[in-house]
Amino acid sequence: MIANDLIAEGAHPLKITDTGTSALMLMDEYKVWHLPVTDKNAYLGLITEADIYTLEDPDQPLECLKTALQRTFVSEHDHIFDVIKLADSLGISVVPVLNEKDDYLGMITMRKLLTGFAAISGMGFLGAVIILELNVNDYLLSEIAQIIESNDARVLGMYLSPHSESTKLDVTIRINQTDIRSILQTFNRYNYIVKASFSPKDPNEDLRDRYDSLMRYLNI
C-alpha cells in the first residue's frame, strides 16, 4: 500500500490567505494539530497549532507565518511504512502527499494511516497474537514459521521491535488460529521465551471489531 492510496477524502488544506482563526477551526474539525498550507496547488509547508497562536491577531492571514512552515511531505509512491516512519519521527498528525511535479495531492490523516496499516497487517482475519523475546542473533524466521506451520497454522504478519538498550528484540506474530495452546507448547519445547500471547475468548470474536471500537473511542 502506497501513500496515494491513503489520502483522506474531503480533507482540505489551508490557503496562504486563510486567517489564523479559520485555520484553528479547521484543525478542530479534523481533530489534528497540523495542516498543510497551499498557494493555489503549490504546497508551501505544514503549519502547527502552536505557530498560529504566535500571531498577534488571530484574524491575520497565514502569510504572516510563511517562514514558520515546515516543508514536510511524502511522495505519492512512498510505501505506508515510510509514511508511518515520517509521522512518528516528526510527531505530526497529518502527512501531505505530493506527486513527482511537487503538486499537492492531499493529506494522510492518522485515521487513514491506521486503517491502511490494519488492512495490510491481517486485522480483518480471525486469529491470535504471540510475542516472543529473543536475542537478535537467535532470530530465525524460517524456524519460527516452521514451528507455527507444524501446528497447522499460518503466519498472517510478523513485526520486529528491537530493545533500545540491549541485543534483544520482540517478535510479534499474527496467526490465523484462535486456539494456540499447541503452538505455545512447541515454542516452549524449543526454548523460546513467550513474552505474551493474546487470543479471542470467543471463537467468533474478530480482531476487526476491536479495531473498530478503538477508532470510535479515539474519534479520529
Domain boundaries, the chain: 3-118, 122-215
* Dihedral over Cα of 66, 71, 76, 81: its sign: negative
Single-letter code of the amino acid located at 132: L
Kindly report, residue by residue over 86-99, the tens digit of the pLDDT: 999 999 999 999 99
Say whether pLDDT at 123 is over 90: no
Q: Which three cell numbers stand for residue 161?
A: 521491535
Q: 122-215: which CATH number, 3.30.70.260, 3.30.70.3400, 2.130.10.10, 3.40.50.1360? A: 3.30.70.260
Band (120; pLDDT cuts 50, 70, 90): confident
Whether 157 contacts 118, CB under 8 Å: no
Nearest CA to 46 out of 1, 86, 80 is that of 86
Please provide the CATH number assigned to the domain covering 3-118.
3.10.580.10
214, pLDDT greater than 80:
no
How many Cα atoms occupy the beta-carbon half-sphere of 199 within 13 Å?
Answer: 13
Strand partners of residue 172: 131, 159
